[in-house]
Amino acid sequence: DVKVTQSSRYLVKRTGEKVFLECVQDMDHENMFWYRQDPGLGLRLIYFSYDVKMKEKGDIPEGYSVSREKKERFSLILESASTNQTSMYLCASSLQGTLAKNIQYFGAGTRLSVL
Amino acid sequence: AQSVSQHNHHVILSEAASLELGCNYSYGGTVNLFWYVQYPGQHLQLLLKYFSGDPLVKGIKGFEAEFIKSKFSFNLRKPSVQWSDTAEYFCAVSPYRDDKIIFGKGTRLHILP
C-alpha cells in the first residue's frame, strides 16, 4: 500500500510565523503535490513537484513556497503565516508516465489554524 | 482553462435511496476521470476511475460511474445507499499526458439512518 505521511494532523500558529508542513511518501513516486482544501472550494493546487529540486506553481501559489531536496519528501512553507491561510492542507503523490494514469495518493491532511 | 463542475454541493438521502451525483468537465481532448471520496476524519481515497474502454466503470462499495463523452459527463451512481456512505465526494479530471488533476468542489453526502 502506498503511504503518504504528513507530519502533523493539527497545527496552530500565530500570524507572521514561518510554518513548515512536511510530507513523506514511501512508494518512490516522482510527482508530489500540495493542495489546500476549503469548504465549498474543493481542492486547489498550491504547488507541484515532478522531480527533486523541480517545482511548478499551481493555481494558488501566493504566500507559499516548497522544497524538494529528496525524492520522498516534499515540504510546504508559509513564509509569513496569515489568517487567510487557515485551512486543511493535503499532500499527494503519484507516479509519472501515461501508464501510471495519474492516480494520486493522499495523506491524512494537516489542519492549520493561524491566529 | 479546464474545469470540473459538480452539480450538487450538499445531498441528503435516506438509507436505501438511490444516488446519482452529477459531474461535468470542460476539456476537449482525451481525459482520465476519477471519483475520490473522503469519509469523516479519513484521508481522501480513490473510489473509481475511467481511463478507456467500457464507459461504465465499477468501484468500491457498490459505486459505479458512467462516462458519456458527448456530454462531457462522469456521473456517480449507487442503487441503494447506506449510512456508511456519508462522506464528501470529489469528481476529478486529468487531461491525458498531464500529471495534474483538476478537482471539482465536492459534494457532501449525508445519509439518514
- Which of B49, B101, B105 minimises the CB distance to A41? B105
pLDDT along chain B (113 residues), means of 10: 89 97 92 94 92 92 95 96 97 87 95 93
Q: Three-class SS of residue A65?
A: strand
pLDDT at A99: 62
Instruction: Read off the CATH number of the domain in which B60 is found.
Output: 2.60.40.10
**Type of residue found at B91:** C
User: A40: phi > 0 → left, psi -120 to 50 → alpha, else beta; which?
Assistant: left
DSSP B9: S
**Type of residue found at B96:** Y
Domain count for chain B, please give it: 1
Give strand pairing partners of A19. Answer: A78
Q: Provide mean pLDDT across the span A71-98.
A: 94
Q: Provide mean pLDDT across the span A48-52.
A: 94
CA distance A31 to A71: 9
Nearest CA-CA distance, residue A96 and chain B, Å? 7
Q: How do strand B31-38 and strand B87-95 relate by DSSP bridges?
A: antiparallel
Inform me whether the pLDDT recorded for A112 exceeds 80. Answer: yes
Q: Could you confirm whether domain A4-97 is CATH 3.65.10.10? A: no
CB spacing of A102 vs B43 below 8 angstroms? no
Domain that holds residue B23: 3-112
Q: Choosing among B38, B43, B45, B50, which should be mutated to test the A contact, i.e. which has the most A CBs within 10 A?
A: B43
Give strand pairing partners of A12. Answer: A113
C-alpha angle A11/A63/A3, rounded to 5°? 50
pLDDT at A22: 97
B28 and chain A: CB distance < 8 Å anywhere? no
pLDDT at B62: 94
CB spacing of B94 vs A94 below 8 angstroms? no
Q: Choosing among B33, B34, B90, B100, which should be mutated to test the A contact, i.e. which has the most A CBs within 10 A?
A: B100
Phi/psi of residue A59, nearest 5 degrees = -80, -25
CA distance B26 to B112: 33
Give strand pairing partners of A23. Answer: A6, A74
- Can you read off the three cell numbers belonging to residue B98? 498531464
Nearest CA-CA distance, residue B2 and chain A, Å? 12
- Nearest CA to A58 among B27, B102, B65? B102
**CB contact set of A102 (below 8 Å; sequence gap of 6+):** A94, B32, B94, B98, B99, B100, B101
CA distance A47 to B105: 18
C-alpha angle A102/A43/B46, rounded to 5°? 45
Inform me whether the pLDDT recorded for A102 exceeds 80. Answer: no
Q: Provide mean pLDDT across the span A37-58.
A: 94
DSSP B42-102: S--EEEEEE-SS-SEEE-GGG-EEEEEGGGTEEEEEESS--GGG-EEEEEEEEETT-S--E
